[in-house]
Amino acid sequence: MFGAMRTAHAPARLTARLVGGLLLALVGGCARRGGCTGNYCGTLLIAATGEPDVLIPPVSELASTRDVVDQVFLKLADLGPSGNTIGDEDFQPVLAQRWEWAGPVTLVFHLDPRARWQDGRPVRAADVEFTYHVYTDSLVNSPFRSALRRVSAVTARDSLTAVFRFREPYPEMFFDAVYQVRILPSHLLRSIPRDQWRTAAFGRAPVGDGPYRFIRWKAGESLELAADSTFFLGRPHVRRVIWRFTPSLPVAVTQVLAGDADAVEVLVTPDNVKRVQADSALATYPYKGGAYGYLGFNLAAPGDSTQDHPLFGERDLRRALVMAVVFGDLAKVPPGPMSQLWWIWDPETRQLPHDSAQAAHLLTRLGWVDSAGQGVRQRAGQRLAFHVLVPTTSAARRVYARLLQETFRAMGVDVALDEVDYPLFVERAHTGRFDALVNVWTTDPTPSSGVPQTWTQAGLGRSNYQRYANPAFDSLVDRAISAPTREPARRLWRRAIELLNQDAPAVFLFAPQNIAALPRRFANVTIRPDSWLALLRTWRVPADRLTDRDRVER
């Protein structure tokens, strides 16, 4: 111990050497200019606010997982630029080179013989058959299982031909067959027991057939993919894609503004948009948002689905509350339960008038008056008061909840906010233990899956938290989904939405447009609204705009 004090010089020398070495490295590092050159060098560093859970497509419905697996795995065919989900004319061939209908309920896909799994094996129709079985297996319990409920069987006619058979014909057969299903490598996954897919090692190191290959995933830090130069539909120009996980959106935006990251999927607030637009190195890309938010009333008694809610069981009261909410910016408000992505978006759809005077009048007519003079309406001893459930994790929902609270207070309605953390919010929503809640749904490109799950009797016990059950609405929705062509479908959808609006199970609050931020050095950027990175393999960084990040060879 005492001896160590005398040799105090040795550590000092070592430190000096270490510091000197570091300085040299730093200087040397700056001087280096080599690395990748040419047209296939771009590196995209995405500041992501969510981290994937398992990289196996059937198992996870997280948007962050979808962004990654969209690059590693292929679908048979993908949505075209028009976003039309009816019929098959507007779809683009991907894994399937072509297809034809061998009858009203039989769809035959011919796989592209060039398609290869990243371990070298060719993609075969047996893989398609295997994938279909996995997606519909109750042990795997895929959230996308219901998308395939009208497919009766998938068989491999030969090594490159897969045949889909449906139970009955309907307009979005093709969409259901291809949109949610990403083809999986049967030779790598067949041996995994079906109830252990969520914890399989493949989920943290997937092998696919897509334009990008999985490189590494450091939990909580980053996930990296590298372009497959032999990809049969064309070599991707962006050589590396890296997701950098950040704790929140403001941090992500800060990183992008500081140059520590390249892209952000959605800027959300006007303030963020302004800051990005002020930066000359960045460009903004607006695209249709796929989400809508609403204040939903619980039509059943909290915790007891057999009874009506003491307040919201009454239709007229709900209608009065919906009318009481007046919006400043009508352009963003959805005309019903829909996002901007849906083709049924029609501002002409009849809704309840947003008129606070009429709302107050209706409340008074129903018997709700402020008899005690306390600013809260009452009727037969019952106060017009309820709680609104909001998750603390979403700033937007909290802001809307408070605005609604103020609006209703001016109407003589006493609203208290229950701000709970996200897991508790989900639990209470599922078990019906709430009066009203502010919720947001992110939707598919078509209303045919989202609306039934959330607003019909088929969704009771699942996503239909409010327990809205109107058989007339259900039947209109069914007919709209089955209508053979667009026009009759559009009319039926409109009638259904108008009926729902009259029933007023919710106040529809927002359906925002999304704005992404990307550096200007990226060219040929197209963003498909339903999945912003779907066309990533066509983006590029021209050779004359390469930066250090693009040049780094790893």
Partner 1 sequence: MTVGTWLALAGVAVLALIVAAEVRSRAKASAAGRRFLRYPAAVPGIFVLAFVVAVAVAAPLVAPLDPYAIPHVEGVANLPPSLHRLLGTDPSGRDVYSRLVYGARISLGIGAIAMVLAVTLGAAVGVVAGYFRHRVDAVLMRLVDLGLAMPRMFLLLMIVALWGQISLANLVLLIGFTGWFATSRVVRAEVLSLREREFIAAARALGTRPARVVWRHVLPNAAAPIIVSAALGIGHVMLLEASLSFVGIGVPSPQPSWGNMIADGAPVLATAPWTSTFPGLAIAVVVMALNAVGDALRDALDPRKESA
Partner 2 sequence: MLAWLVRRLAASIATVLAVVTLTFFLIHLAHGTPCGPSDGPPVPPEVCAGLRRQFGLDQPLIVQYGRYLRALLHGEFGVSFAQHRPVSAAFRDAMPNTLVLAGAALLVDFAVGLALGVYQAARARRFGDIALGNAALFLNSMPTFWLGLVLMLVFGLWLHWLPVGGMNDPARCPRVDTLDCLADLLRHLVLPALTLGLVGAAGTARYQRAATLDVIGQDYVRTARAKGLRERRVWLHHILRNALLPFITLVGLAFPFLLTGAVLVEWVFAWPGMGWLSVNAVLSRDYPMVTAAALVASVMVALGNLLADVLYVVADPRIGVRGEASSVG
Quickly tell me which residue has 């914890």 as its tokens: 199
Residues 6+ apart with CB under 8 A from 328: none
Q: Exposed, middle or buried by CB within 10 Å (0-12, 13-18, 19+), for 168?
A: exposed
Three-state DSSP state, 3: helix
At residue 233, what are phi and psi to the nearest 5 degrees?
Answer: -100, 10
- Write the DSSP symbol of residue 407: H
**Chosen from partner 1, partner 2, none, partner binding at 491 (C-beta under 5 to 8 Å by type):** none
Cα–Cα distance measured from residue 389 to residue 378, given in angstroms and rounded to the nearest whole number: 22
Three-state DSSP state, 123: coil
Residue closer to partner 2, measured from CB, 106 or 248: 248
Site for partner 2 in 102-141 (CB under 8 A): 138-139, 141
- Is residue 14 part of the contact set for partner 2 (CB under 8 A)? no
Tell me the per-residue interface mask from 485 to 524 with partner 2, x by CB under 8 A, - otherwise. Answer: ----------------------------------------
- Is residue 10 part of the contact set for partner 2 (CB under 8 A)? no
Q: What are the tokens at 340?
A: 């901007």
Least distance in angstroms from the C-beta of 103 to partner 2: 35
Cα–Cα distance measured from residue 132 to residue 326, given in angstroms and rounded to the nearest whole number: 47
**Chosen from partner 2, partner 1, none, partner binding at 90 (C-beta under 5 to 8 Å by type):** none
Residue closer to partner 1, measured from CB, 101 or 422: 422
Degrees, nearest 5: CA angle 56-62-119: 25
Alpha carbon 398 to its chain's center: 20
End-to-end CA distance of the chain: 45
Least distance in angstroms from the C-beta of 248 to partner 1: 6
> Which chain residues interact with partner 1 by CB under 8 A?
248-251, 254, 271, 328, 392, 395, 398-399, 402-403, 405-406, 417, 419-421, 423-424, 427
Cα–Cα distance measured from residue 289 to residue 511, given in angstroms and rounded to the nearest whole number: 7
Beta strands, E only, 201-349: 212-218, 222-227, 238-245, 282-287, 291-297, 300-301, 304-308
- Is residue 410 part of the contact set for partner 2 (CB under 8 A)? no
# chain residues binding partner 2, by CB under 8 A: 54
Under 8 Å between Cβ of 197 and 56: yes
**Chosen from partner 1, partner 2, none, partner binding at 398 (C-beta under 5 to 8 Å by type):** partner 1
**Chosen from partner 1, partner 2, none, partner binding at 199 (C-beta under 5 to 8 Å by type):** partner 2
Among 255, 358, 364, 405, binds partner 2 (CB under 8 A): 255
Least distance in angstroms from the C-beta of 296 to partner 2: 17
| CA atoms within 13 Å, Cβ hemisphere of 85 | 23
- Is residue 31 part of the contact set for partner 2 (CB under 8 A)? no
Among 218, 234, 348, 471, binds partner 2 (CB under 8 A): 218
Tell me the per-residue interface mask from 430 to 469 with partner 2, x by CB under 8 A, - otherwise. Answer: xx-----------------------------xx-------
Cα–Cα distance measured from residue 319 to residue 500, given in angstroms and rounded to the nearest whole number: 11
**Chosen from partner 1, partner 2, none, partner binding at 222 (C-beta under 5 to 8 Å by type):** partner 2
- CA dihedral for 324, 462, 85, 539, sign (positive or negative): positive
Among 90, 137, 260, 370, binds partner 2 (CB under 8 A): 260
**Chosen from partner 2, partner 1, none, partner binding at 554 (C-beta under 5 to 8 Å by type):** partner 2
Least distance in angstroms from the C-beta of 499 to partner 2: 29
Among 40, 50, 53, 442, binds partner 2 (CB under 8 A): 53
Least distance in angstroms from the C-beta of 424 to partner 1: 5
Cα–Cα distance measured from residue 286 to residue 310, given in angstroms and rounded to the nearest whole number: 43
Q: What are the tokens at 274?
A: 């302004």
Cα–Cα distance measured from residue 128 to residue 150, given in angstroms and rounded to the nearest whole number: 17
Residues that bind partner 2 (CB under 8 A): 1-2, 5, 21-22, 24-26, 28-29, 43, 45, 53-54, 138-139, 141, 195, 198-199, 201, 203-204, 216, 218-222, 224, 240, 242, 244-247, 251, 254-255, 258, 260, 421-423, 426-427, 430-431, 461-462, 548-549, 552, 554
